Structure 1
């Protein structure tokens, strides 16, 4: 960190951006979750778990990798996978190369639920995000968000 006497305060524009970003980070998951739960038996977090598993090699990920992909702690991911397992949408299997680790694997029922929930998620994302980005350079915005995310992983 820097010395408080040499730190340059945020400009009004920087402060406004930071506050708006904070509101998006807290509000967007809530509204997406409300949309999903209004029409589907899974939450938006559960939907994203199914998405990540559907895109993974052999449609499986170590629990730790899945937690990282979804931005959750391992214990948080365990709770989500427990809920999905109770609905038979995901199952756990021991990792063949590491007996201490577990994979989460999407089931046939999970694929069906993912396909059923996709239109709900798409409509929510279009309504709450992309409808407000008209005229914006989405590729440039994506690059900025990726730079921020990648810097925080280092």
Structure 2
């Protein structure tokens, strides 16, 4: 078995550590402002981008990278909160389409300034735009 080089190990450690720190900062800020967790924002954004027809749950799962059971629980909570609607799928009588409600659009829009502030403080204030673009390019290779 080949051993990884020190730079690869350091890159992995930095990526995981900073990712966790950034996610925790966003989650804490959203919670402090009385908003739902970041996964809700991500789901609402994907549903809003999908338009009025919405998405099938498995499509949403693939876009937000949650396991199936996590997506089901998330959707149940979001339906109960009135942020998304479920409709029977016309193409598959057993399936459902999930779409964002007007309340969901409003909540997503209200969450964005908090999310954006954390990104600006934690990334934008520390990296020049060209450095942020270079980081995005490097990460896209992975």
Calculate the TM-score normalised by the size of structure 2.
Answer: 0.88
Question: Hey, what does 1:151 align to over in structure 2?
Answer: none
CA distance in 2, matches of 1:50, 1:41: 13
Question: Hey, what does 2:69 align to over in structure 1?
Answer: 75
- Pairing partner for 2:13 from 19, 44, 54: 19
Q: Which runs of 5+ in 1 are unaligned?
A: 149-154
Q: 1:59 to 1:97 in 2, by over 3 A?
A: closer
Q: Is the 8 A contact 2:86 2:99 kept in 1?
A: yes
Deviation sequence 1:69-99 (CA, Å, 0-9, x none):
1110111011111111111011111221122
Give the 5 Å matches for 1:51-66. 51-58=45-52, 60-66=54-60
Question: Hey, what does 1:116 align to over in structure 2?
Answer: 110
Question: Hey, what does 2:78 align to over in structure 1?
Answer: 84
Calculate the TM-score normalised by the size of structure 1.
Answer: 0.82
Shift >4 Å, 4+ stretches: none
CA distance in 2, matches of 1:81, 1:128: 30
**1:42 shift after superposition:** 1.2
Q: Which runs of 5+ in 2 are unaligned?
A: none
1:145 is the counterpart of 2:125: no
Q: How many residues align?
A: 142
1:100 is the counterpart of 2:102: no
1:31 is the counterpart of 2:20: no
